[in-house]
Chain A
Amino acid sequence: MIKWICIFLFSASCFSAAAQETFPVNGVADDRPRIFAFINATIIQNSDDTLRNAGLVIARGSIVAVGRNINIPRDAVVIDCKDKYISPSFIDIYSDYGVPVPERNAPPYSYSAPAQLTSNVKGAFGWNQAIKANVDASAIFSTDENKAKLLRSFGFGTVLTHQKDGIARGTGTVVTLAGIKENLAMIKEKASAHYSFSKGTSTQSYPTSLMGAIALLRQTYLDAKWYKTNPSTEGVNLSLKAWNNIQDLPQIFEANDKWGDLRADRIGDEFGVQFIIKGGGNEYQRIHEMAATKAVFILPVNFPDAIDVTDPDDVRLAALKDLKHWELAPSNPAAFEKAGISFCLTTADMNDPKKFLANIRKAISFGLSEKQAFNALTKTPASLLNIYDKVGSLQPGKLANFIISSGPVFDEKTILYQNWVQGERYFVNEDQWNNFKGIYKVSVKSPSHSTEYTLYVKDNQNASIITTDTLPAKFSFNGKLISLNFSPEKKSEVTIRLSGRNDDGLWSGNGIDENGDVVLWKANFLKTLPPLPESAKKKSEAAGAKITYPFGAYGWDKMPQSENLLIKNATVWTCDEEGKLEHADVLLKNGKIVQVGANLIEADAKIIDGTGKHLTPGIIDEHSHIATFSINEGGQSVTSEVRIGDNLNPDDINIYRQLSGGVTTSHILHGSANTIGGQTQLIKLRWGANEDGLKFKGADPFIKFALGENVKRTTAAANNRFPDTRMGVEQVLTDAFQRASDYEKEINKAEAKLNTGRKKQDRSKSVWDIVRRDLELDALAEIMQKKRFITCHSYVQSEITYTMRVAEKFGFRINTFTHVLEGYKVADKLKAHGANVSTFSDWWAYKMEVADAIAYNAAIMHKMGLNVCINSDDAEMARRLNQEAAKTIKYGGVSEEDALKMITINPAKALHVGDRVGSIKPGKDADLVLWSDNPLSIYAKAEKTIVDGIIYFDINRDLQMRETMLAERNRLIQKMIIQKNAAGAKNTTGR
């Protein structure tokens, strides 16, 4: 019976669907005006205007009139909405509704797998499989009633949908959730262009990394612009053509993370694009940075569930930042509102979209205003997509997209009855349209007698008969049909079975009584149910977790400030001309070293007693891989276009751990997966700063090169990427610089041509209209112009030598050979070339090319007069670099002071920042370490590590923070246990 009704209701809505003129009709035409008038409603026109006791008229799927005193057309179907609310339905701006979901993401990059160097896509498309600018969601969209029904059930009427696959994803299309033909449901064919950092299903090797994805996007912007000049060498490139065609649409970037958001925005800034940024939900952790993007954001409400924290061994693995995020995630939208940043809300990323409204309510309890929540689902997305003339509010002329509910849409108790899309009615909780809950008098009349019962109807599935006892009843009510079974007495095994129908609040029907007699029955509404005792009053959440910088372990409540510091009476290892000074004072002001000497006095400086302690320059790690999201762009042998600085991770705990080992500056290198790797980034370990704040400003730019086994992929099962031998590596280098030389020549020629044109300096045309700007060759040209410098991963003497010869051929020098474990074999050649060297203290025999590596390497090269650095290449070892340097005393008899220089002034010089850092000298940056002991001793601990005059690590503060963190973890875990238990209890009683 129930089933039959459902089919009836569903098909009813299909029958009334609008017809299209071009489509032939198999049968008799059935064009209907579809005029409906909703009266006596509370109408939310938009977030500002609410009309009480008002009416809404729609016809042929559009709104005709809204207001308090409107004419109701005579041919309208009138629907009384007394005590009901009508509001515009929601818009989900980040959906993939109705478009094919890409099968699965390509497997992650495997170092040992064969490379796929070209695109697998057939046709006149571009070179990279992840650039799918030609994908057009409108061409692949088809309605999906199951998904539409789900989205409608919590208030959505319109979505922007696109295919979430690739780095460039083509265009999105705006469709309504009406179950009508796609032609009519589609209200904006091409509404947006989409991008991401994820290559999705692309199986092509490049890009293997986040920084590679960024470089690919940047290069594609350049290529697309160049393609507009119709270069004959390119032929037809449908990817670039499509890219150019969609640039005027709203540009949406799926960044999914606070730092990713900033990266996306930076790409936009470079190419004059203001992206709409799809965030990840952790933006509240860096809200000031978000505001600075000036972007509109799309925010998910996928707030994490409490994790199971009952097993202490497992919960140890849950990070404080995740526990805190669990507590604070619902505050994300409120943080945007408070910061005045415009945003939309989306169902995207939710494991269970049914929780959407509940999560919105959660966000509201964390301070999001209902008004902004409403705008974020209506006007804001509509305006962004230039469809506010069609959807997003209730105005004549707009689509008849609205919901009818029992109250304000975000109220917990509100029931959504109907969701109208383009004038089509869809039932959500239709059975509750009439308020039937309450106490009824039921009269059952059999041939012999008549009995009365009192019926408590709690909802459409639960009711009970009240006599002297409370008798449970089997009850169902679907708005129209009623079924009721109960036993007339407690413990009675016989039942009275009734069925009937609702006629405007009066229930009546027939049935069989306990004696088997046929009965007639009716029920009259007496009164509403007595109100249940209010469960805990709704209150705004007071989130306990603090936003710290960084957000996770050991973060600051407030970023520390530079202060004037006077370190007294320490053994000062200057690593400069003055050598080692006993009982010396060092004064730091405004982030700089001001004075070094004895008995210094400074009234407004904080005194640090250095008695018995040792003060050294901050340690500089020439070769580090911390604080980044990706290290290797292994997709090609030459990737000079990628930049480590594009993907720094300021939250990396290794920054803090290394501060605890006295490191203040780190040279973050690309990995060694390819011959010409990426551009490096020098950072200072300013724990808590953002990406930009980490960067060592004004330092010369460097680039990483690599030689030997890693770049020829010795351990790969089946290498198909050139080169496979050291002979090939030499040619990769030669070829790269030959191409860069030719590129320079081409640029010069183009410049000359522009300058000698009829009009001197033709401003309308640039060199890049003539020459295709190539980010890879740009970086190589910079090397030849001595504006960018190489640090080259190297092991054996043959490759060290040939690399120097290639550089010499092209007129430049290798700035630094890093690792350079056979450097001792060619120390004289390195000296003649003018290279710096940076090596491990004692690594060897972990692969063939280090079979001749010796721990005496540093000492020999030092004795040969080379500028020798000791580097880490390892996040653990970096916090013991002082000990690694000390090994040169053991292996080769280097003096203590010279050993210390290998991790201070020597790397500073190698990195061209010797005038800024690396020694204790007035005028230099106040980057210092106060040690408990001789800094070359294994027993020495860094007690204070100072960067720019700011104490970023203090051994005592560290101990305090451990306790604070432990307390915070415990608080959050207890809270999770309580919530989990509460949720568990609800689940068991609910069924």
Chain B
Amino acid sequence: MKKVLISIIIITSAAMQAWSQDDIYPAPEYKGLLFITNATVHVGNGEVFNNATIAIDNGKIKQVGVSVPVPADDVKVINAAGKQVYPGLILPDCDLGLKEIATGVRGSNDYRELGDNNADIRSIVAYNTDSKIINTLKANGILLADIVPQGGTISGASSVVQLDAWNWEDAAYSIDGGIHVNMPSFSEPLSQNPAQVQNNSVIPEHMKQAIEKTAEIKSFFMQARAYLQDNNHDHVNLKFEAVKGLYNKTQKLFLHANEVKQMLAGIDFVKEFGFDVVIAGGRDSWLIADLLKQNNIAVILQAEHHLPDTEDDDIDQPYKTPAILQKAGVLFALNDDASTPRYRNLAFNAGTAAAYGLTSEEALSAITLNAAKILGIADKTGSIEVGKDANIIISEGDILDMKSSKVLYAFIQGRMVNLKNKQTQLYDKYMYKYGLK
């Protein structure tokens, strides 16, 4: 019957002996009660509770509020006074666990399959829970990620994983929820050839190819629809079977598209097939925000930290695109596709959006609740609300601002996860070498 008060010091020293990542274990299942007290709770839906308590029972959020009683016996209590509490961040489009060393080490990569139509390909089966990158993301508050296969026109199905698991079956949070299609490019930069004269009556070759390719994609979905009317086939078509959920909306169609014409073509998938459509990329989405809203198309913006597309664009265009989508009422999430820091700056992408027109809570939603909605997991996570999984992080200060963003605790399904990673271990190792610690 003892109350366990866990302090920051205890946590950080607990994993000190671990020199190699292989000693960082996924946290065991936690069945009991857990309380986070005195917290500034950023719910994820725009609300903020000051000095609040979060009660967690058996991995689920049981209560959130200012007057939640904390029983005096046999419970874990985290005193978050002065700290900021957020839902676990969600990385909505990545190759985590599929791509380890991005270039030069082919054997470490499993993210891009051969072939043009890979509708049957499933990322989840290759997801490597021992990737050294995963733990660096947890350390920055990212607790869930949608793992997306690449390659071909139809890349296959993505699955959402939680980032503290022994194997992919444990990690799976929502399986095969997204079918990913790479839209062909319709545009050819005019600026590369200023003298170029286009004849109105002739459709340029790249445009023709894009139109044909789009028709081919649609044809696949038309045939799939017809095939799926009947469930007794002499020859089972795995590709058609793989997209079944699109027609009953248990799956969503993720169109990877940045250009306006690509996105306009995407509207057809809503109109003709009634799919739930998400635009992944969406660089030019600000140009057609109202149209996207009208068609209930959600957007995942790949990266805030991008240069503008053209020399003439507003220099802060990518930074302020989220604010334009927000104003138009488009459901959108932010991603971090940066290939060199390897996705760990998701929160700072949101921070930039907050610096350029979103409120802090809107920016937070863009990496939590909105992402959960887009990925179809909002019933389970994305916000600190009663009934959802206790996927929660506690930060020293504003999570969106690097100068104060420091994740002290993270919980996945109520389990307090180890925030150590290869980088902290090497840090400790060399601080030890130099006698600095």
Chain B residue nearest to A714 in the complex (CB): B104
Measured between beta carbons, the chain B residues less than 8 angstroms from A863 are 431, 434, 436
Q: How far is the CA of A273 from the CA of B358 in the complex (A)?
A: 60
Contact of A877 among B261, B305, B424 (CB under 8 A): B305
Contact of A307 among B103, B197, B345, B352 (CB under 8 A): B197
Given A307-B194, A958-B315: A842 and B434 interface contact (C-beta under 8 Å): no
Q: How far is the CB of A698 from chain B (nearest CB, A)?
A: 31
Q: How far is the CB of A390 from chain B (nearest CB, A)?
A: 35
Chain B residue nearest to A843 in the complex (CB): B340
B17 in the interface (beta carbon within 8 A):
no
Q: How far is the CA of A309 from the CA of B431 in the complex (A)?
A: 61
Given A656-B315, A938-B355: A854 and B194 interface contact (C-beta under 8 Å): no
Interface stretch (choices B7-15, B183-191, B383-391): B183-191
Measured between beta carbons, the chain B residues less than 8 angstroms from A656 are 315
Tell me if A892 and B344 are in contact (CB < 8 A). Answer: no
**B:189-222 near A, CB below 8 Å:** 189-191, 194-200
B312 in the interface (beta carbon within 8 A):
yes
Tell me if A313 and B259 are in contact (CB < 8 A). Answer: yes
Q: How far is the CA of A457 from the CA of B427 in the complex (A)?
A: 94
Q: How far is the CA of A17 from the CA of B315 in the complex (A)?
A: 66
Q: How far is the CA of A612 from the CA of B44 in the complex (A)?
A: 31
Tell me if A934 and B312 are in contact (CB < 8 A). Answer: no
Measured between beta carbons, the chain B residues less than 8 angstroms from A321 are 311
Tell me if A351 and B195 are in contact (CB < 8 A). Answer: yes
Tell me if A844 and B104 are in contact (CB < 8 A). Answer: no
B223 in the interface (beta carbon within 8 A):
no
Q: How far is the CB of B171 from chain A (nearest CB, A)?
A: 19
Contact of A886 among B340, B402, B423 (CB under 8 A): B402
Contact of A847 among B105, B261, B426 (CB under 8 A): B105
Tell me if B431 and A307 are in contact (CB < 8 A). Answer: no
**A:927-968 near B, CB below 8 Å:** 934, 936-941, 958, 962, 965
Tell me if A876 and B104 are in contact (CB < 8 A). Answer: no
B101 in the interface (beta carbon within 8 A):
yes
Tell me if A846 and B354 are in contact (CB < 8 A). Answer: no
Q: How far is the CA of A846 from the CA of B190 in the complex (A)?
A: 32
Tell me if B427 and A860 are in contact (CB < 8 A). Answer: yes
Given A848-B105, A876-B305: A842 and B195 interface contact (C-beta under 8 Å): no
Tell me if B427 and A892 are in contact (CB < 8 A). Answer: yes
Q: How far is the CA of A855 from the CA of B402 in the complex (A)?
A: 13
Chain B residue nearest to A852 in the complex (CB): B426
Q: How far is the CB of A991 from chain B (nearest CB, A)?
A: 15
Given A842-B345, A844-B423, A875-B307: A889 and B197 interface contact (C-beta under 8 Å): no
Tell me if A896 and B403 are in contact (CB < 8 A). Answer: yes
Tell me if B306 and A876 are in contact (CB < 8 A). Answer: yes
What number of A residues sit within 8 Å (CB to CB) of B?
78
**B:341-367 near A, CB below 8 Å:** 341-342, 344-345, 348, 351-352, 354-355
Q: How far is the CA of A656 from the CA of B314 in the complex (A)?
A: 11
A969 in the interface (beta carbon within 8 A):
yes
Q: How far is the CA of A347 from the CA of B104 in the complex (A)?
A: 49
Chain A residue nearest to B431 in the complex (CB): A860
A314 in the interface (beta carbon within 8 A):
yes
User: Per-position contact with A for B275-311: 1 when CB-CB < 8 Å, else 0?
Assistant: 0000000001001000000000000000001111111
Tell me if B194 and A304 are in contact (CB < 8 A). Answer: yes
Measured between beta carbons, the chain B residues less than 8 angstroms from A302 are 195
Measured between beta carbons, the chain A residues less than 8 angstroms from B166 are none
Tell me if B102 and A847 are in contact (CB < 8 A). Answer: yes
A767 in the interface (beta carbon within 8 A):
no
Q: How far is the CA of A318 from the CA of B195 in the complex (A)?
A: 11
Measured between beta carbons, the chain B residues less than 8 angstroms from A382 are none
Tell me if B434 and A864 are in contact (CB < 8 A). Answer: yes
Q: How far is the CB of B313 from chain A (nearest CB, A)?
A: 8
**B:305-339 near A, CB below 8 Å:** 305-312, 314-316, 339
A653 in the interface (beta carbon within 8 A):
yes
B130 in the interface (beta carbon within 8 A):
no
Measured between beta carbons, the chain B residues less than 8 angstroms from A686 are none
Q: How far is the CB of B423 from chain A (nearest CB, A)?
A: 4
Q: How far is the CA of A940 from the CA of B402 in the complex (A)?
A: 12
Tell me if B187 and A315 are in contact (CB < 8 A). Answer: no
Tell me if B402 and A314 are in contact (CB < 8 A). Answer: no
Given A313-B261, A843-B341, A876-B307: A304 and B195 interface contact (C-beta under 8 Å): yes
Given A306-B197, A318-B191, A938-B348, 12 other A-B contacts at CB below 8 A? A308-B198, A308-B199, A846-B103, A847-B103, A848-B104, A860-B431, A876-B305, A883-B402, A889-B403, A890-B402, A890-B403, A965-B312
27 of the cross-chain contacts (CB-CB < 8 Å) are A308-B199, A313-B187, A313-B261, A316-B287, A318-B194, A319-B311, A325-B194, A326-B194, A553-B312, A709-B104, A825-B430, A827-B430, A828-B434, A842-B344, A844-B341, A845-B102, A845-B342, A848-B105, A886-B402, A889-B403, A890-B402, A934-B403, A937-B401, A938-B348, A938-B400, A939-B354, A939-B401
A interface list, Cβ under 8 A from B: 302, 304-308, 310, 313-322, 325-326, 351, 552-554, 653-654, 656-657, 660, 709, 714-715, 824-825, 827-828, 840-848, 851-852, 854-856, 859-860, 863-864, 874-877, 880, 883, 886-887, 889-892, 896, 934, 936-941, 958, 962, 965, 969, 984
Q: Give 5 closest A-B pairs by Cβ, nearest first.
A: A322-B194, A308-B198, A938-B351, A856-B427, A854-B423
